[in-house]
Amino acid sequence: MATAPSPASRAVLTPPPARGRPSAAAGRPERRARALAPALVPAAAALALGFWGIRRQDSLWSDEAVTYEVAHRSTSDIARLLAEADVVHGLHYFLMHAVFALWEGGTVALRLPSVLAVAATAAGVGLLGRRLASPRAGLFAGLVLALLPSLQRYAQEGRSYALVCALMTWGTWLLLDALDAGSRKRRAARGERRSWLGARQFGRRFRWAGYGPSCWWRAWCTPSPSWAWSPTASPRPSPGPGSAPGPRPRPS
């Protein structure tokens, strides 16, 4: 009758845990967080500073009051206004019209797109710094941008300036992405061209390597005709002075 193993023997029979390097899946979240830190930390700082005191006692200055009033008009009235003035802010007026149609939040709804745009700008600057220099440089660049008083002023202003800044930042990102894609294509085309030239040179050398034995075979192993000159033949007598050379004999 079989007996159950004792705890001591069970401990002996249990294999020790495998020791080695941690798996790649274990370090993947840490690497991902480290890669996104130059974007997330500046964006969080910009959001915190932008939402701090965003109401300003519900006071509006003149341009914000214009945005608030125009955004509450109908789309046809906004289009008629843009035909006469404020064309540069037309997209912002339509955007704020959609925001107020979804949520009538007063000054918070008026300034919310600007706060989000400044956060997107800080994140974009952080990613640009990481791409062009290093993750630490991107983190510092994004934080410095988020802490600028002039940028925080536009973060709490119901106008289109913060949105334009965000569009310029991410437009720069897309431009760099397009340039990198073009350089990758050029490198691939250059590699294909070099491969083709290398194959062509190899073909030429291989062709000359084949020509050498064939030329040697024709020169030494092919019987020459009777009329061909050979080194062992006697030299042809040269014509005397004043006599014209006769015609060269044709082979029979």
Residue-wise pLDDT for 127-184, tens only, equals 999 999 999 999 999 999 999 998 999 999 999 999 999 999 999 999 998 988 877 7
- Please report, for the chain, the start and end positions of each structural domain, with discontinuous segments joined by +: 34-179
Please report the DSSP string for 157-213 in residue order.
Answer: SSSSHHHHHHHHHHHHHHHHHHHHHHHHHHHHHHHHHHHHHHHHHHHHHHHHHHHHH
Residue 15 above 90 pLDDT? no
Residue 5 phi/psi, 5-degree rounding, is -65, 145
SS3 track for 206-251: HHHHHHHHHHHHHHHCCCCCCCCCCCCCCCCCCCCCCCCCCCCCCC
Confidence of residue 88 (pLDDT cuts 50, 70, 90): confident
When pLDDT is cut at 50, 70 and 90, the band that residue 62 belongs to is: confident
The C-alpha atoms of residue 174 and residue 127 are separated, in whole angstroms, by 12
pTM of the model: 0.64
The tokens for 21 are 């390097």
Q: Kindly report the number of other CB atoms within 10 A of residue 25's CB atom.
A: 7
Mean pLDDT of the region 197-225: 52
According to the model, what pLDDT value does residue 182 have? 76
Residues making up the chain, counted from first to last = 252
The pLDDT score that the predictor gives to residue 206 is: 47
Give the model's pLDDT for residue 34.
82
CA dist 97 and 67 (Å) reads: 9
d(CA 175, CA 128) in angstroms, rounded, equals 11
CB atoms near residue 30 (< 10 Å): 9
pLDDT band at 70 (very low <50, low <70, confident <90, very high): very high
The yes-or-no verdict on residue 83 having pLDDT over 80 is: yes
Residue 227 pLDDT class (50, 70, 90 cuts): very low
In tens, the pLDDT along 31-42 reads 887 888 999 999
